[in-house]
Amino acid sequence: MLNEGKEYIIITPAKNEEDNLPGLITSIRHQKRKPKVWIIVDDGSTDNTKNLIRHAELEESWIHGLILSSTNTYNIEEHYADVCRSGFDYAIHLAKNSNIPFQYIALSDADMLYPETYFSALIDFLEIHPDFGIISGSLAIKDKNGIIYQENKVIPGNDQVLGTGRVWRLATFSQTGGYLRVRAPDWVSTILAISHGWKTAQIPDIICYQTRDTGGKITLWQGYFKRGQRLYYLNSNLLNIVNTTFDIIFISRQKNSFKKSIALICGYCYSVISRDEQISIQEVKQYSGSYKRVLYLYIQFIRNLFSKDH
């Protein structure tokens, strides 16, 4: 069988996603290798999201909705992690109780579109490379006018995996405690996998598409200000901040790059001045605070910049 030994489950958190969810449902239904279970977690939506989930459940037996209690605010940090954890727990419980085998676990946000070979290509990569524990494709933005542009370039030496469109090996997911209730849970998951000896990567030639810019549910300034705060929370050093802004402006050459960079720096500095809480997991603090690692990435960025210019 095509899928034998390569089964996977997916969870998707969704709150007021009536504009984006139909496109995601269509792209998952058209996957060459379909998931064995897909849990769409409704996080107290007030629009038509619940009805879209119920309709999808009727059309496909492997699609299941999980309806959570209504919340007053959209929290992209601990609350987002709670929503995802609810989905993961439910998906794993459902699969095990129904004797559905799976070897991989995927996470997708609701504002995503995937080519039909996306998940099969990632799983094939993991099958060939048993030392990799978490991978994703690379991200492009598909705006309202259908224009596609690359938001983040994949730089050699960058082992950070996308938060969305990512696939865990089941052993890696279990070994690192699943999806932890922390700020920046995706980054923490990746760092813990690395600390346990797994390799992680974005795969440049496997592309997924986001239908809004990162942090699109809040303003651009707020999104990158919070990103700066998360970098402080993870114990990122100053060189890492310089490296990140250098990437945004000169490597990825993102839209509104200067505004994003200034917002990120302001968020980081605000947390420094306020002496905000930092993550307590020592493996994450050591990894994020390593000047040696960031210096290596910085050298890779410079090499990449000069190779493009010449």
pLDDT in tens, 15-73: 999 999 999 999 999 999 999 999 999 999 999 999 999 999 999 999 999 999 866 55
- For the cut 50, the answer to whether the pLDDT of residue 307 exceeds it is yes
- 174: Cβ contacts below 8 Å, ≥ 6 apart: none
The percentage of the chain sitting over the pLDDT mark of 90, rounded to a whole number, equals 73
Look at residue 304 in the predicted model and tell me its pLDDT.
66
At 191, the amino acid letter reads I
Same domain? For 176 and 230 the reply is: no
Q: What are the tens digits of pLDDT across the range 125-136?
A: 999 999 999 999
Same domain? For 258 and 179 the reply is: no
Look at residue 53 in the predicted model and tell me its pLDDT.
98
Look at residue 50 in the predicted model and tell me its pLDDT.
97
- For the cut 70, the answer to whether the pLDDT of residue 8 exceeds it is yes
- For the cut 60, the answer to whether the pLDDT of residue 215 exceeds it is no
Among 219, 220, 213, CA closest to 143: 213
- For the cut 70, the answer to whether the pLDDT of residue 242 exceeds it is yes
Same domain? For 166 and 97 the reply is: yes
Contact by Cβ (8 Å): 202, 137: yes
Contact by Cβ (8 Å): 192, 94: no
What range does the domain containing 288 cover?
A: 220-309
> Hey, is 8 helix, strand or coil?
strand
Q: How many folded domains does the chain comprise?
A: 2
Look at the block and give the residue holding tokens 């492997």: 62
Instruction: Kindly state whether residue 110 falls inside one of the protein's structural domains.
Output: yes
8-17, 101-110, 153-162, 262-271 — which is least confidently predicted?
Answer: 153-162
Instruction: Kindly state whether residue 299 falls inside one of the protein's structural domains.
Output: yes
Q: What is the per-residue DSSP string for 23-72?
A: HHHHHHHT-SS--SEEEEEEES-SSSHHHHHHHHHHH-TTEEEEEEPP-S
**Tokens representing residue 201 in the block:** 């990567």
Residue 91, domain CATH: 3.90.550.10
Most confident of the following: 176-190, 200-214, 295-309: 176-190
Question: What backbone torsions phi and psi does residue 121 show, to the nearest 5 degrees?
Answer: -65, -40
In whole angstroms, what is the distance from residue 199 CA to residue 196 CA? 9
Same domain? For 63 and 150 the reply is: yes
Look at residue 69 in the predicted model and tell me its pLDDT.
83
Q: How does residue 171 score in pLDDT terms, banded at 50, 70 and 90?
A: very high
Instruction: Kindly state whether residue 224 falls inside one of the protein's structural domains.
Output: yes
Q: Where are the beta strands (DSSP E) in 46-182?
A: 63-68, 104-107, 112-113, 132-142, 148-150, 166-169
Same domain? For 201 and 115 the reply is: yes
Same domain? For 167 and 193 the reply is: yes
Q: How does residue 1 score in pLDDT terms, banded at 50, 70 and 90?
A: very low
Same domain? For 60 and 195 the reply is: yes
- For the cut 80, the answer to whether the pLDDT of residue 297 exceeds it is no
- For the cut 80, the answer to whether the pLDDT of residue 309 exceeds it is no
Same domain? For 67 and 130 the reply is: yes
Structural element, H or E, at residue 220? helix 220-233
pTM of the predicted model as reported, rounded to 2 decimal places: 0.90
Look at residue 73 in the predicted model and tell me its pLDDT.
55
> Hey, is 236 helix, strand or coil?
coil
Same domain? For 158 and 52 the reply is: yes
Look at residue 142 in the predicted model and tell me its pLDDT.
82
Same domain? For 231 and 177 the reply is: no
Look at residue 2 in the predicted model and tell me its pLDDT.
46
Domain boundary among 154, 189, 210: 210
What are residue 13's DSSP bridge partners? 41
**Tokens representing residue 253 in the block:** 């050459």
The percentage of the chain sitting over the pLDDT mark of 70, rounded to a whole number, equals 89
Contact by Cβ (8 Å): 70, 42: no
In whole angstroms, what is the distance from residue 97 CA to residue 89 CA? 12
Instruction: Kindly state whether residue 215 falls inside one of the protein's structural domains.
Output: no
